[in-house]
Copies of this chain bind each other. A is one copy, B any other.
Amino acid sequence: MYEKKIPLPLECGLAMTREILGGKWKPNLLFAISEGINRPSQLHRAIPQSTKRVLNLQLKELEEFEVIEKKIYHQLPPKVEYHLTERGETLMPLLRQMNEWGDKNRSFIKNIILNRTKVLD
């Protein structure tokens, strides 16, 4: 009766990962940083759709989870650099796969999204 079972196969590894990559721009930030785009202004230029504020927030969270680290050069003008940590590096294969999958399915997905908005007009 109380053999709950239904073997929750959804061990929360997924949830954990989601906790890290959940932010809207976090994957992009990590990807960019991994490619040597590591200064705030550069990152903002690389992701102009977002704002400094939001990027800062998400960078702070990434830092909190120690997937990136922040180097502050106390000088004028200020200079800051972000770099992947060891842990962050281990995330890269995942990000690469996400990117790949998205690339392969882009046209298909795009179509669906566009048709969706078309209907709404």
Contacts and interface: CB of A to CB of B under 8 A. Distances in A.
Contact of A16 (B6, B12, B93, B109): B109
| Interface bracket on A | 35 or more
B49 A14 contact: no
A21 to B, nearest CB: 8
Contacts of A113: 10, 19
A35 B42 CA distance: 43
Contacts of A17: 98-99, 101-102
Interface in A60-102: 64-66, 87, 90-91, 93-95, 97-102
A13 B100 contact: yes
Contact of A6 (B18, B49, B108): B49
